[in-house]
Chains A and B, each alone.
Chain A
Amino acid sequence: GAVVSQHPSRVICKSGTSVKIECRSLDFQATTMFWYRQFPKQSLMLMATSNEGSKATYEQGVEKDKFLINHASLTLSTLTVTSAHPEDSSFYICSAPRANTNEQFFGPGTRLTVL
C-alpha cells in the first residue's frame, strides 16, 4: 500500500508555544490531505481538509486561526497548532487519498502533549 509519513512522532511543548506537524505522501501525489484529531479511547474526528494550492476547509467547531494548515506541494501538508494549550494535547493523524480512488492511507500519527 501507499506510504504516508508524519513528523514528529511525538512532541512535548510548553503552553503558549506553536508546534508544526508535517504529513508527507512518500510514493504518490496528493492534491488533498485530511487532518484528524483523536482523543484517548475515541474515534477519529476530521478537523480539516488540506487542498494543494488553496485554502484548507475546516470542519465546524475547528478554529482555523488556531490550527493553521499549509499544503504547499503535492506531497506535503503541514498543521501548525498555534498558542497551544493543554486541551490541545491529543493524537493528530493525517491521511491522503490516492488519486481517483476512495482509498485513504493514514500516517502513523503525532502525539502532542502541551504542558
Chain B
Amino acid sequence: GENVEQHPSTLSVQEGDSAVIKCTYSDSASNYFPWYKQELGKGPQLIIDIRSNVGEKKDQRIAVTLNKTAKHFSLHITETQPEDSAVYFCAANNYGQNFVFGPGTRLSVLP
C-alpha cells in the first residue's frame, strides 16, 4: 500500500521568510496530492492540490511542486505570516482509493 513520509516534523521561520515542506510517496499509481492546513482544534482545510499530470501549481503565496520520477512533492509558502502557523499535512491517493496522510509538519512563523 501507499506510504507517505513528510519532513521536517517542525519548522520555525521568521515572518516574511519562505517555508518549504517535503513529502515522498511510495505508490507510483498515486495521482493526486493535496496539502491540508490544520489549526488547533479544527478539521483539516485543503489549501492546494496537484495532480500527476502537472509539475507545479501556484496560488498566491502558496505553491506545490511534483516530481513523479522521484516520487516527491513539496509545499512552498512565501512571505510567511503569523497566521500561517499551523500543522500542515500532505496526502497521496489514486482515484477511488483512500487518502494516506503524512505525519504532519508543525510550522511556526515568528513575528
Instruction: Give me the interface of A with B, judged by CB distance under 8 Å.
Output: 1, 4, 6, 34, 41-44, 46, 49, 91, 93, 95, 102-109, 111
* B45 interface hit (Cβ, 8 Å): yes
Give the complex CA separation of A49 and B42 in angstroms: 21
- Chain A's closest residue to B4 (CB) is A43
B46 touches A103 (CB 8 A): yes
Given A43-B89, A106-B36, residue A49 in contact with residue B98 (CB < 8 A): yes
A-B contacts at CB below 8 angstroms, number: 49
5 pairs of residues in contact across A and B, judged by CB atoms under 8 Å? A34-B99, A104-B34, A105-B46, A108-B42, A111-B41
A102 touches B95 (CB 8 A): yes
Best-surrounded residue of A44, A91, A93, A95 (most CB of chain B within 10 A): A44
Instruction: Give me the interface of B with A, judged by CB distance under 8 Å.
Output: 31-32, 34, 36, 41-46, 49, 51, 89, 93, 95, 98-99, 101-104, 106
CB neighbours (8 Å) of B44 from chain A are 44, 93, 106
Given A34-B98, A43-B103, A46-B98, residue A103 in contact with residue B43 (CB < 8 A): no
Choose from A4, A34, A44, A103 the contact partner of B49 (Cβ within 8 Å): A103
CB neighbours (8 Å) of A104 from chain B are 34, 46, 99
Choose from B41, B46, B99 the contact partner of A109 (Cβ within 8 Å): B41
A102 touches B104 (CB 8 A): no
